[in-house]
Structures are given as C-alpha cells and as structure tokens.
Amino acid sequence: MIAALAVISFSSFFYTSHILQHREKSIPKETVLTWTDSYTINGTKLRGFAYLENGTKIYAVQTFQTEQEKKKYEKISLCGLTFHVKGKMVPPPLQSHQFAFSMENYIESHEAQGIYEIEQAVFRKKENTISTILADQRFRVKKQIEETFPESLIAEAQALIIGEQENVDPDVNRAYQKLGITHLFAISGLHVALVSLLVFEILLRLRVRREHATIIIMIILPIYACIAGGAPSVWRSVLVVEMVMMSKIFSSKLSIDDALSLSFIALVLYQPSIIFQIGFQLSYLATIALVFSSIILQSTQSFIMRSFYMTTVCQLLVYPLLIYHFFEMSLSSFLANILFVPLFSFVILPMNLILFVLTIIFRPLAQLLFFIYEPFRELITKLIMLCQAIPYQMWVTGRPSVLLCCIAFLGVLCAFVYVEKRRYLVASLHIFIPAIMIYIAPSLHSDIRITFLSVGQGDSAVIELPFRKKVYVVDTGGLLRFDQESWKQSKTEYEIGRRIVVPYLKGRGIREVDTIIMTHADADHVEGAEEVIEEIRVSEIHVSPNSWKKSIMHEVIDLVKKEKIPLKEKVAGDRWQVGDIHFEYLSPADTQYEGNNDSLVLWMRYGHFKMLLTGDLEEPGELQLIKNKSRLIDHVSLLKAGHHGSKTSSAEPFLKVTRPALSIFSTGLNNRYKHPSKEVVERFQRLGLPTMNTAEVGSIEVRVSKKNWEIMTTSQLIEMKKALSK
C-alpha cells in the first residue's frame, strides 16, 4: 500500500504539473460558460466556478445591474445553466499580507484557471446530467428549509443537512472556533456514519434483507454526498464506507486503513489539487489519528474518558497543521467536544433531519416540534456563547516554520507510542517541548519590525520591538460605509479588523498588544479596533484629546470600558523610551479636537533610523511641525505620507525638511478618492523621494537593525539594505 501511495503521489505531481503547464494562456472575450453548483449570490455579485465549452474551469464573477435580475438568479439553481458571455480575465486580487486569504491559492486548489469577469450574459440552454439533477435537488432542499424552518434555525439546518454555510452568523461561527467544535457545524464523516446507520436500521426494521440493505446504502451514499455539497470529508467517509461494504459483499476483508488509503488515492487521482485544500488535509489526518490509536482508545470502557481520548488524539495529531493554517488552537476543545459531540450527534443532527422530513410529509407536526425545539436550541446557543467568552482559551502560536511543524508531528507520534507503553512523563515531554519551541519562536527577532498593512483605503501599522519587548498598533483600518439599497448590501459586513489586521497579528504570533494608537477619529483608521480588542489582549489605548467623543468612536469606547482598558489622551511632547528606542508624539499641540490636523503624530528613533507616522495630517499641521519640531523631523528614514497621499497633504516645504529615504502611501486599489493624488506623486518624484504604495505591493514590512534596514513586500520579496551612517 505504501508503494502504491508513492506511485500515485508522484504520478499526481507530474500530472498536475503537466495540466498547469498546458492550461490556456488566455480566454476569449466571448465564450460559452456553464455554471457548477459551487457558487454564491451576495450583494450585487454572483461568484463561483464554471466551465467553458472547451472544458477549462474558471472562477466567474457577474455583477447584477438591477434587483429584478438578482431575484431571477436567486429563484433557480444555476448548476448546468449555459450562457453565452462577454467578459475578460482579470488577475486575482493581491493578498493583503502573507497570513491573509489568498484568492489565487483558492482558485488553484480547485484547478481553475483564473477569474473571469462577466460583462454580459445571454442564456442558451440547461444541461441535464446526473450532477445537475442532484444539484437541483440540493437547491430544492435549501429552499424548503428557508420556507419552512424558523429564521433562527435556517442557517444550522442548511449547514447540517446540505453543507451550506453561507448564512451562518459570523459571531456564532467564531464561537464554534473558540470552542474547537467547528467540525460539528458542518457535514463530516460522523454525519455520514450516522445517516448510514439510521437508514440501515430503518431498512432492517422494514424487513429488508441485510444484503439488500447494504446495496441500497451503497447507492444512496454517493447521492447524499452530492446533495450534501461534496466536501472532502464527506467523500472520504462515503468512499471508505462503500469500500468496506463492497469487500463484505465479495466476502473479502478490507481493513479500515486500506480503505482510507484507497479513498485518498481515488480523490487525488480525480482532482490532484484537492490535496491543497485544508479541509481535505485535516479530514484525513484526524481520521488517521483515530484509526491508528485503537490501543489508546480501547484502554478505557468509560464513555466520557473514551470521548476525551478521541478528542485528544485527533487534536494533538492535527494541531501542527491547524496552527500552520490558522495560527491558533482552542485549548478548551479537549473538554468542549466531550459535551457537544454527543449533543450534536444524537440530538441536534437527528432533530434537524426529522424536522426536515416532517416539513415535507406532515407540516403541522413539524410546527409543533419547532415550538418545542427552537427555545431548546436557543438555550444551547446561549450556552455556547457563554463558554466562548471565557478568556485565555485560544493558544495563539503564529505560523510556525515547516521545520517546527515537522518536529511537532514527530513529537506527537512519539508521544502516542509512549502512551501505549504507559510512559506518560516521556510522552508529555515529546508534546510540550515542541509546543514551547513554537510558542517562543515568534519573539526571537533582534530587529524592529514595522509593518504597514494593506487595509484598503485606510491606515494600520504594527510596530514590534526586538524580542517582542513591546508591540504597538497604530490605527486599525476600517471602511467608510455609505448607504445602499437593501438588495445591494452584503449578507455580512466586511470587517477590516477581523479579515486583515487580526489575522496578521495572530499570524505573527502576537498574543498581546501593549498599545493601540488611534491617531484620529476617522472610520478608515479606527473602525477595525473593535475586532482587534475582541480577539487580542490590549494593555492600553492612546487617542488624540477629545477625539473619543466623536460618534464613530462610540462603539469602540463602549468596548474599551467593558474590557476595562486604560484610555489615555496624548499630546505633543509626550515621550517614552524602551531600551535604545525613543518614541515621542509631535502633534497635536492642544486639546481641542478639530479633525485631521489633530492627528496623533508618532516619531520614533533607533540609532540613525528615524520614522514619522503622520496619520491624516494635512498641510497646516505639517507646517506646524516644521515650525515646532524641525530638528526631530529633519531627514527621516521612513515617512508614512499624510492622508493617504491626498493633495491636501505632503506639502513641498514639509518634504524638503523631512527628505524621507522612503515614503509609504496607504491606499486602496482604484479608490474613489484617487489617492495618492497625481499631483503629490509628481511632487515626490520631482524631489527625488522614493515612494511605495500598499495598493500596488500589498503590506510593507520594514526590518530595522542598528546598522541598516531592509524592506519586504507581500507582492514580492524585496530586500533593500540602506546604510544610515552620516
């Protein structure tokens, strides 16, 4: 079997390489496109995977022009619908930073060629294949749930019955993540096993012969896998069950581990890129942990202890992979799963299946059960939200190196061996020593790390001092939100803090921020603070005097009070020092908050390196700095250009004094304000001052040592060493 796996792995590698090398270089502007069942409709956008007439798979994006057009698409299943389209291929959006979601990787993991923006679509025909028929049934199930279930139960039922998680509330989903029970809110191998057992027992009670019942289940399971969304964990479980049942029919013995290996081979042969999908990796790794830990699991007859052992075995083996992808791990999952796995497996999942069937065959009884079940389910949700609020249950690790991940894997495997030998102390050392190495690794840098995050049209910078003595976050990004018609609004608001800032902090292994500096009260600078405070411990917050009274700050201030975080107003002249690193606020000079020119301006010096972060300071504020602080701001090394490069900032007298070796514009790609201003860019060029723009290169990381400094960007690894000797 090992030899077969090796042959298949190498064959898949060369096959995938061949496919990637021979993909079409371009897609014609006019073509024929057929939608798959992997699509979403959200706001004004239809997004999903589709096939062109030559078989090329693409990720298609269509923008609705009217509410009527959107409703027309929402009423039907798009799988199998063929359109004649006009459009163009566009590059995937630049990854915000190395820890952010990568659209390019997502597309490649599904073997698609790229993003195709549809400008015009004309319906041609509906394909009638087995896959489209099953997709239509899945769509009907989705609509049946939406029309018959109470609103509070719709998202859960869709997730558990057909694997549709589009409508799951983000706060509820995050609560499941903190408790380490996210797998229960999706269709998994456990669901397939329970459905198989349920159908099998029903058939036996109906006096169907055992052999015939087995064949019926073998026919039903692949159909169920398609209707359930076809996640890797579902197909893994279905294939294993099918193989084991088939071996029994032919009176041969196929072990679970052999069936698992064969299912792995089959899925990789069918779709080689599936191996890059996180769900596929975690599903097989967790199953392997259970299959090869039978001695440990059978060492107790207690149901509670066996549940604990199962959770521990799975969590320990997958944790290196888990923290590599998600930078954190739930410590409470070891206990939470003991309670919630039986609850979901034997109460919530069966109840949803029963309720769904009743909505079809006898709706009055379903309504009666909803009346009883809905309050019970709300009580469970309250319990989950209460448990997730317990502090210190998430272990933030950062993304460990591949070497550390391998060491952790080996440590866990060795620990399992020693547990079987009942040498528990040695087993513990094999787990905890790699874990300690992973814990301390992110802080083992002797330089200053300054990262200007690509947060779109906003500002956010992270300053890490050597060996993590201190961590400062200057602004947290955010969105300027404008009123839209209801049909244009997304189901969930896009949150810069949760999507960009927090993943970066966790990816870097930052568990605590010493100070959040909110330069001024604009949404694109402070809106993300709420998510940061909710996810990362914050010691104190600095604000410009009286800026906290502005309406945009109300929700942040309420959270700050709730968390009892000290809020300190800062003015020009406030300074502090950490070792050889000096910090000082150069603005504002008074306590009357009037807007951009009262931004907190942070100055930092380390040896010959000087940095100036100006918030949204405009020309009057810049001229005031020249007047009061010209000595400090003379010939700075690094300048965060004021107000995103607006023409009201970066005045020529200011630039002639500061003469920055590098200036950074923090802007959004194709933003409505056209920042940075063409006039300002030309001014920098005329003065011979280099600039970089987060919209063009992604997040920008500056590493500063006493002798030099270098730059690395998201879009490319650029290392530029600059000597700062006079």
**Span 30-37, mean pLDDT?**
93
Query: How many angstroms separate the Cα of 614 from the Cα of each of 412, 519, 562?
Result: 48, 8, 30
**Span 21-46, mean pLDDT?**
82
Chain segment 142-156, per-residue pLDDT in tens: 999 999 999 999 999
Asked if the model's pLDDT at residue 338 lies above 60, the reply is: yes
Asked if the model's pLDDT at residue 44 lies above 60, the reply is: yes
Does 133 or 493 have the greater pLDDT score?
133
Chain segment 651-695, per-residue pLDDT in tens: 999 999 999 999 999 999 888 889 999 999 999 999 999 999 999
Phi/psi at 204 (5° precision): -65, -40
Query: How many angstroms separate the Cα of 367 from the Cα of each of 28, 72, 155, 382?
Result: 52, 30, 17, 23
Sorting pLDDT into bands at 50, 70 and 90, what band is 726? very low
Asked if the model's pLDDT at residue 419 lies above 50, the reply is: yes
Helices (H), 228-362: 232-249, 256-270, 278-291, 294-297, 303-326, 333-343, 349-361
C-alpha–C-alpha distance, residues 132 and 50, integer Å: 13
Task: Say how many C-beta atoms besides its own lie within 10 A of residue 178's C-beta.
Answer: 23
pLDDT of residue 138: 92
According to DSSP, the residues that pair with 235 across neighbouring strands are: none
**Span 621-626, mean pLDDT?**
94
Sorting pLDDT into bands at 50, 70 and 90, what band is 324? very high
Does 18 or 543 have the greater pLDDT score?
543
**Span 377-386, mean pLDDT?**
93
Phi/psi at 662 (5° precision): -150, 135
Asked if the model's pLDDT at residue 717 lies above 50, the reply is: no
**Span 383-397, mean pLDDT?**
91
pLDDT of residue 9: 54
Tell which residue, 419, 409, 369, 559, has the closest CA to residue 476: 559
Does 496 or 257 have the greater pLDDT score?
496
Sorting pLDDT into bands at 50, 70 and 90, what band is 6? low
> At residue 236, what is the residue type?
R
pLDDT of residue 168: 85
Look at 161-175, 179-193, 466-480, 612-626 and tell me which has the smallest mean pLDDT: 179-193
Does 55 or 248 have the greater pLDDT score?
55
pTM to 2 decimal places:
0.91
Does 255 or 115 have the greater pLDDT score?
115
pLDDT of residue 415: 93
User: How much is the mean pLDDT over the chain?
Assistant: 88
Tell which residue, 34, 12, 46, 207, has the closest CA to residue 135: 34
Asked if the model's pLDDT at residue 456 lies above 70, the reply is: yes
Does 598 or 193 have the greater pLDDT score?
598
Task: Say how many C-beta atoms besides its own lie within 10 A of residue 704's C-beta.
Answer: 25
